[in-house]
């Protein structure tokens, strides 16, 4: 009896210890950066009146399919009303190319790496994660190396919307001297679940130089207020009003969205604060893939508000295209 009780106690101790082993998503240590100028919501909106100077394009790396309950909160009343069910949802993997006339070429996210043209046992992803992530449904359209090779333009930097695996699959195709910019605490905040992905994240980002951006501290309101009224934190990255980085915590701690003043109009890249076209149209947050639903809710509301204030050429959910 006593032995049984002891066994139960030690099992409990093990579980408690296991739950305490939180870790960061990568063992790479980001370097701090003060690049970019602090911007406010209003200064950003008025800067966007200037003529756009960035050549902007979206590149489709792969078609893929993954569980809808991860991508969309199926318990949201709007999902229930629409009769959305669990099951596979067709999605895509992208990267974005920004060509600035003076600052050169930057990417948002990394697309698909050349290594994924090889058999699956050569991929830098553990077989457990491959099966969890439904990787057998992945169909490559173009790898990042294939797309970049005839371009003869050096990449000056890569912005990561966040550090989930499907956004760093093409990192290996990018020169290791290129800085990879992340949002606040994206690479350093800890969670228990990171234990399962850390090895794969490290392999995909091997040799990369991570740089954590500093966003302006949120202004302290004079009166206590609800999170609904907290302002967005924004950086004018080049200091010329052509590219704004917006900290949108929730999906992950350091998630970022991007507002690009392109030659052909304004582009809003949402990242995985909203994965799907349906989620954006109905203002429904992601499902189980999001770490903090409340914060994600706030960030998505703020992006919707922003989109209603400006005339965009196109808005890009994380994994699908809007019509
Ligand atoms: Zn994603």
> For residue 318, how many C-alpha atoms fall within 13 Å in the half-sphere facing its CB?
25
Q: What distance in angstroms lies between residue 223's CA and the mean position of ligand 1's atoms?
A: 37
Could you tell me which residues are beta bridge partners of residue 92? 63
- pLDDT for res 286: 97
Q: What distance in angstroms lies between residue 18's CA and the mean position of ligand 1's atoms?
A: 27
- pLDDT for res 130: 87
Q: What distance in angstroms lies between residue 167's CA and the mean position of ligand 1's atoms?
A: 6
Comparing CA positions, the residue from 286, 208, 228, 240 lying closest to residue 101 is 240
Q: What distance in angstroms lies between residue 309's CA and the mean position of ligand 1's atoms?
A: 26
- pLDDT for res 241: 97
Q: What distance in angstroms lies between residue 83's CA and the mean position of ligand 1's atoms?
A: 24
Q: Tell me whether residue 222 is in a domain.
A: no
pLDDT in tens, 264-288: 999 999 999 999 999 999 999 999 9
Q: What distance in angstroms lies between residue 178's CA and the mean position of ligand 1's atoms?
A: 22
Could you tell me which residues are beta bridge partners of residue 99? 55, 105
Q: Tell me whether residue 279 is in a domain.
A: yes
Q: What distance in angstroms lies between residue 10's CA and the mean position of ligand 1's atoms?
A: 38
Token pair in block for residue 25? 């998503």
Token pair in block for residue 266? 């304004």
- pLDDT for res 300: 98
Predicted TM-score (pTM) of this structure: 0.90
Q: What distance in angstroms lies between residue 173's CA and the mean position of ligand 1's atoms?
A: 19
- pLDDT for res 163: 95
Q: Tell me whether residue 7 is in a domain.
A: no
Looking up residue 52, the CATH number of its domain turns out to be: 3.60.15.10
- pLDDT for res 191: 76
- pLDDT for res 17: 54
Q: Tell me whether residue 322 is in a domain.
A: no
Q: What distance in angstroms lies between residue 117's CA and the mean position of ligand 1's atoms?
A: 20
What is the rounded distance in angstroms from the CA atom of residue 50 to the CA atom of residue 310?
Answer: 13
- pLDDT for res 210: 96
Q: What distance in angstroms lies between residue 206's CA and the mean position of ligand 1's atoms?
A: 20
Alpha helices (H) along 219-276: none
- pLDDT for res 77: 98
Q: 21: phi > 0 → left, psi -120 to 50 → alpha, else beta; which?
A: beta
Q: CA end-to-end span of the chain, whole Å?
A: 66
Q: Tell me whether residue 22 is in a domain.
A: no
Q: What distance in angstroms lies between residue 94's CA and the mean position of ligand 1's atoms?
A: 9
Q: What distance in angstroms lies between residue 7's CA and the mean position of ligand 1's atoms?
A: 41
The parts of the chain modelled with pLDDT lower than 70 are 1-21, 218-230
CA distances from 142 to 105, 145, 319 (A): 19, 8, 16
Q: Tell me whether residue 28 is in a domain.
A: no
Q: Tell me whether residue 114 is in a domain.
A: yes
Q: Give the DSSP letter of residue 187.
A: T
Q: What distance in angstroms lies between residue 163's CA and the mean position of ligand 1's atoms?
A: 9
Q: What distance in angstroms lies between residue 275's CA and the mean position of ligand 1's atoms?
A: 7
* Burial of residue 41 (number of CB atoms within 10 Å: 0-12, 13-18, 19+): middle
Could you tell me which residues are beta bridge partners of residue 161? none
Q: Tell me whether residue 56 is in a domain.
A: yes
The answer to whether 265 and 103 are in contact (CB under 8 A) is: no
Q: How many domains does the chain have?
A: 1
Q: What distance in angstroms lies between residue 272's CA and the mean position of ligand 1's atoms?
A: 6
Q: What distance in angstroms lies between residue 230's CA and the mean position of ligand 1's atoms?
A: 25
Comparing CA positions, the residue from 133, 98, 134, 93 lying closest to residue 111 is 93
pLDDT in tens, 29-39: 888 888 999 99
Q: What distance in angstroms lies between residue 289's CA and the mean position of ligand 1's atoms?
A: 9
Residue 174 belongs to domain spanning: 37-216+231-317
- pLDDT for res 302: 96
E-only strand ranges, 272-323: 312-317
Could you tell me which residues are beta bridge partners of residue 235? 38, 245
What is the chain's Cα-based Rg? Answer: 20
Comparing CA positions, the residue from 211, 225, 232, 219 lying closest to residue 295 is 232
Q: What distance in angstroms lies between residue 8's CA and the mean position of ligand 1's atoms?
A: 39
């Amino acid at each position: 009896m006593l032995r049984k009780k002891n066994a139960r106690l030690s099992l409990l101790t093990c579980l408690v210890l296991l739950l305490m082993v939180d870790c960061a998503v990568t063992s790479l240590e980001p370097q701090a950066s003060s690049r970019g100028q602090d911007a406010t919501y209003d200064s950003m909106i008025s800067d966007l009146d200037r003529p756009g100077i960035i050549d902007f394009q979206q590149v489709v790396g792969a078609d893929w399919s993954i569980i809808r309950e991860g991508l969309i909160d199926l318990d949201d009343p709007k999902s229930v009303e629409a009769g959305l069910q669990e099951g596979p949802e067709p999605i895509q993997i992208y990267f974005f190319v920004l060509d600035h006339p003076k600052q050169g070429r930057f990417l948002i996210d990394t697309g698909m790496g050349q290594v994924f043209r090889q058999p699956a046992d050569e991929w830098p992803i553990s077989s457990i994660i491959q099966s969890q992530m439904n990787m057998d449904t992945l169909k490559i359209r173009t790898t990042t190396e294939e797309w970049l090779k005839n371009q003869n333009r050096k990449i000056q930097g890569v912005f990561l919307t966040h550090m989930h695996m499907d956004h760093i699959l093409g990192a290996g195709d990018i020169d290791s001297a290129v800085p990879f910019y992340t949002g606040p605490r994206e690479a350093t905040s800890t969670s228990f679940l990171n234990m399962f992905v850390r090895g794969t994240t490290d392999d995909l980002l091997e040799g990369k130089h991570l740089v954590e951006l500093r966003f302006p501290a949120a202004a302290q309101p004079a009166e206590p207020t609800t999170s609904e009224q907290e302002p967005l934190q924004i950086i004018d990255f080049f200091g010329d009003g052509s590219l704004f980085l917006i900290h949108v915590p929730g999906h992950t701690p350091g998630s970022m969205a991007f507002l690009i003043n392109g030659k052909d109009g304004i582009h809003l890249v949402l990242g995985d604060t909203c994965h799907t076209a349906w989620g954006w149209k109905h203002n429904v947050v992601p499902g189980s893939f999001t770490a903090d639903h409340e914060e994600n809710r706030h960030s998505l509301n703020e992006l919707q508000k922003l989109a209603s204030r400006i005339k965009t050429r196109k808005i890009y959910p994380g994994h699908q295209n809007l019509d």
